[in-house]
Structure 1
Amino acid sequence: MTRRHGYALPAAITAIVAVVVLVSAAIYASTGSDDGRPRATVADGPAPHNSAAPASAGIWVGAWTAAPAGGEPGTEATGLAGRSLRNVIHTSVGGTSARITLSNLYGQQALTLTHATLALADSPDSAAARPGTMRRLTFNGAPTVVVPPGRQTVSDAVRLTVPRGADLLVTTYSPLPSGPVTYHPRARQISYAARGDRAEDPTASAYTERTPYWRYVTALDVMSNESDGTVVAFGDSLTDGLTSTVGADRRWTDVLAERLRTAVAAGRDVPRYSVVNEGISGNRVLTDGRGRPAENPSALNRFGRDVLNRTDVKAVVIDLGVNDILHAPEPTTAPQIVAGLRRLVAQAHARGLRVVGATLMPFGGHYGDSPAREAIRQSVNAQIRAGRVYDAYADFDAALRDPYAPRRLRPAYDSGDHLHPSDAGYRRMAEAFDLTLLKGAARASL
């Protein structure tokens, strides 16, 4: 991927931008911290003149998310000033209106966005917009927004018929340096960039740069009558879909969303939920990454931001613990991991959320495997199966392990590194998930 630190702006343009920034300073009030606390949107108050209130009955639900994981390497000095960043995202549910969340969590100075758009992709994995679907985004009625470092902003709603299982294009343009670009590094999806302000360009001709990252955008909500709420999948690389086919949407969460839609259409008694993915590769229950704010923050530190404050969340599926066993800076015991997982459950229960957990899948043959680490995995799984951690559990271990070598993944489900599943393995994870586990209330205590 080619990176460019920006270019010199002509004096006249610089002056115009300076005026825009001064005007935009008033918009600071529209931004919220990246803990995801509610912000004012069109749904909460009068609609700006160029915005659009929902066209039909429904509720706001999450259609897509990506957890901010760090600052993009190579952008520390100037960000990606002078670039249009076109993110390709994939919806789990359809709706009649949409809004996006943009994050400057890892920025070291204000992020000035002078142009942002939303459109349906003309075809899968394409930077071209479907004719007639390009929408200019506003923020409290203004086309420009300034996002302070460490904070986020939510756009006003726009009317747009968003199909379920569709690719959308979220494009942002910033003319000024902003420091590190907040990104999600292992998107398993190709997005695009172009020089200059091409945010409203419906063609793909200028978008010659390709990137495996999602930049700035962290959520898409839709006004939907297809869903009664959101289920959040919260995990590490196994949820992030690290080894799934790029651009094919074959993470286990993609398949779970597909299964829920099919089951509802068939009249089965399962929840009508959208599914959003809050996996971060390398994530641990107990330990933060480096930096301030921490890159790849621990599950305990990001749970409020990435789960509790997602839009209309009803349930959470947690698949975490393997990295605490394999990659912790010091030996981590099974009781420590279980205690951390139970703290996550307690936070969810305090908000009335049902919690489904997953057993830890085998990693025999992986370079980090050892008898001591296998014993920790087995101990954590025993607590999960005994009902001492979650409200209910999905037994991913039993579904993917090799029956002839249970410390290993079944060969057909192994990507080759003996830790991450193949596409078939990710599908098996979703197929092993009993959809009725998402029903019911949180247990009073564990």
Structure 2
Amino acid sequence: MVEVGRRDACRALTAVAGALALTLLGTAAAHGGPPATPDRTGARAAAAHWTGTWEAAASGTAAPLPGASIRNVVRTSVGGTAVRVRVSNRLGTLPLVLGAATLARQRANAPKSPQALSGTMRTLTFGGRKKITVPAGRDVVSDPLTLNVPAATNLLVTLHTPGDSGPATYHRDALQTNFLALDGNRATETSGAAYKATTTSWYYVTGVDVLRPQAPGSVVALGDSLTDGSGSTPSANRRWPDRLAERLRALPADRRQGVLNAGVAGNRLLLEGRGPSALARLDADVLSRTGVRTLIVMEGVNDIKSAPNQTDPAALGAAYREIVRRAHARGIRVVGATITPFGGHGSHTAARERVRRSVNQLIRAGGLFDAVADFDAVVRDPSRPDRMRAAYDPGDHLHFNDAGMRALADSVDLTDLSR
């Protein structure tokens, strides 16, 4: 198999407004209107509840793949009896034409295979239609699809793009092998034999919801590459939000929250980095997601270390306050994570270390967030607190290996997520 190349062309996010069928989503927050949360499907929802089980925040655009079928592999955090999928053309500049869309469970014991589990292939529809056109700057949510979707299961979301729809909205750093069939509509094929190319990005698909009998809601992790998973083992689901989901699944059923990963590698709080800033994408990637009860914010290291560098801790504090204000307006609890050390990385300086520690002091002092996850205290080297412990370092002195990701997730107080 060959990996397909990618290119970024980031521009400002519009907000997502959730709904069912062929409801178009997208520009409300950009124009000051509130995005809606998709949480009802008529009579059936009266006895059950929609919950977000997976997310990938749009991080930029890539070259289109005309004539291809794109088989995205996504992993559920919680399960349900029905499913719906969010497809995004939010960063596109032309209408996105989808010739077909399907969903299936990935074949058991084959986490790196494009093969679907026999009997699980389903056609996705949008307002009853199999073929749709998504305007530039918008998202759509599929019709509900009856399918038993277990927790901690890989799903195959396959989209066929028959023509050139312009820049493709994608999540660049999926840390997941996804599959491409470059020779036409292969969306309904179970064997996966036609998927001879691979990519490590997710194309167009940005969310999956499931229908559940309980309503504990979901947790969103808003962050940068440390949340996106850089440094962890690819195609193994060992990012810290993955481990957090594992911990939550061990709780009683009425406390098993879904976990949505809104990490974007290179993201910043205040300025556009890779993708819009955390403030600019808050509506689209957090507030409009399904059933959100709690937000964990792990942002700020790129503001400190990357040019133009933020040298004023108060500016980051003000950004945190704005996130909390907007989340509280939606009834969402916010947990703030301290900024982890990056001593030894090429961008580290004594001045930037002072800013990092000052910001962490603001976070720990209270008054900013509803609760604090002190990630810095968990991973720093006691003998050199400007650096992480060697056991957690994949070698770049900034990101975390699997052990470091696990340490972060295991330090989160689960009672802070459901108060």
Do both proteins adopt the same fold according to a TM-score greater than 0.5, normalized to the shorter chain? yes
- Separation of aligned partners in 1, 2:37 and 2:318: 33
* Cα drift, residue 349 of structure 1: 1.0
**Corresponding letter in the other structure for 2:116:** A
Q: Report the equivalent of 1:62.
A: 52
- 2:199 corresponds, among 211, 223, 232, to 211
- Separation of aligned partners in 2, 1:137 and 1:101: 11
1:125 partner SS: coil
Q: Report the equivalent of 2:162.
A: 175
**Corresponding letter in the other structure for 1:64:** W
Q: Report the equivalent of 2:11.
A: none
Q: Structure 1 residues 254, 3: closer, same or farther in 2, change over 3 A?
A: closer
1:263 partner SS: coil
- 2:77 corresponds, among 92, 96, 106, to 92
Corresponding position: 1:139 with 2:157: no
Q: Structure 1 residues 388, 420: closer, same or farther in 2, change over 3 A?
A: same
Corresponding position: 1:346 with 2:336: no
1:256 partner SS: helix
* Cα drift, residue 237 of structure 1: 0.6
Structure with higher Rg: it is: 1
Cα contact 1:34–1:103 (8 A) shared by 2: no
2:226 partner SS: helix
- 1:155 corresponds, among 142, 149, 162, to 142
Aligned length: 397
Cα contact 1:185–1:214 (8 A) shared by 2: yes
Q: Report the equivalent of 1:298.
A: 277
* Ranges in structure 2 where 5+ consecutive residues have no aligned partner: 7-19, 30-34
Percent of pairs identical after alignment? Answer: 48
Corresponding position: 1:388 with 2:367: yes
Q: Structure 1 residues 125, 205: closer, same or farther in 2, change over 3 A?
A: same
- Separation of aligned partners in 2, 1:4 and 1:82: 16
Q: Map 1:2-151 onto structure 2 (within 5 A).
A: 3=4, 30-33=23-26, 37-38=35-36, 43-45=40-42, 57-72=47-62, 75=63, 79-122=64-107, 123-151=110-138
1:124-175 deviation per Cα after TM superposition (whole angstroms, max 9, x unaligned): 2221000000000100001111001111111001111001000000000021
Instruction: Return the TM-score normalized by structure 2.
Output: 0.90
- Separation of aligned partners in 2, 1:87 and 1:388: 41
* Cα drift, residue 28 of structure 1: 11
- 1:187 corresponds, among 156, 160, 174, to 174
Corresponding position: 1:246 with 2:243: no
**Corresponding letter in the other structure for 2:271:** T
Cα contact 2:240–2:406 (8 A) shared by 1: yes
* Cα drift, residue 232 of structure 1: 0.5
Q: Structure 1 residues 409, 264: closer, same or farther in 2, change over 3 A?
A: same
Cα contact 1:363–1:419 (8 A) shared by 2: yes
Cα contact 2:38–2:290 (8 A) shared by 1: no
Cα contact 2:22–2:142 (8 A) shared by 1: no
Cα contact 1:271–1:438 (8 A) shared by 2: no
- Separation of aligned partners in 2, 1:104 and 1:128: 26
Instruction: Return the TM-score normalized by structure 1.
Output: 0.85
Cα contact 1:28–1:148 (8 A) shared by 2: no
2:74 partner SS: strand
Q: Report the equivalent of 2:12.
A: none
**Corresponding letter in the other structure for 1:83:** A
1:301-326 deviation per Cα after TM superposition (whole angstroms, max 9, x unaligned): 00011111100111100001100000
Cα contact 1:271–1:436 (8 A) shared by 2: no
- Separation of aligned partners in 2, 1:149 and 1:426: 36
* Cα drift, residue 4 of structure 1: 9.5
* Cα drift, residue 34 of structure 1: 6.0
**Corresponding letter in the other structure for 2:327:** A
RMSD between aligned residues: 2.2
Q: Structure 1 residues 85, 382: closer, same or farther in 2, change over 3 A?
A: same
- Separation of aligned partners in 1, 2:331 and 2:23: 28
1:22-52 deviation per Cα after TM superposition (whole angstroms, max 9, x unaligned): xxxxx996322166934889x5359xxxxxx
- Separation of aligned partners in 2, 1:4 and 1:252: 27
* Ranges in structure 1 where 5+ consecutive residues have no aligned partner: 6-26, 47-52, 290-294, 441-446
Q: Report the equivalent of 1:403.
A: 382
1:300 partner SS: coil
1:424 partner SS: helix
- 2:210 corresponds, among 204, 222, 244, to 222
Q: Structure 1 residues 429, 29: closer, same or farther in 2, change over 3 A?
A: closer
1:33-81 deviation per Cα after TM superposition (whole angstroms, max 9, x unaligned): 166934889x5359xxxxxx67x94210001000001011xx1xxx211
Cα contact 2:220–2:286 (8 A) shared by 1: yes
**Corresponding letter in the other structure for 2:221:** A
**Corresponding letter in the other structure for 1:90:** R
1:363 partner SS: coil
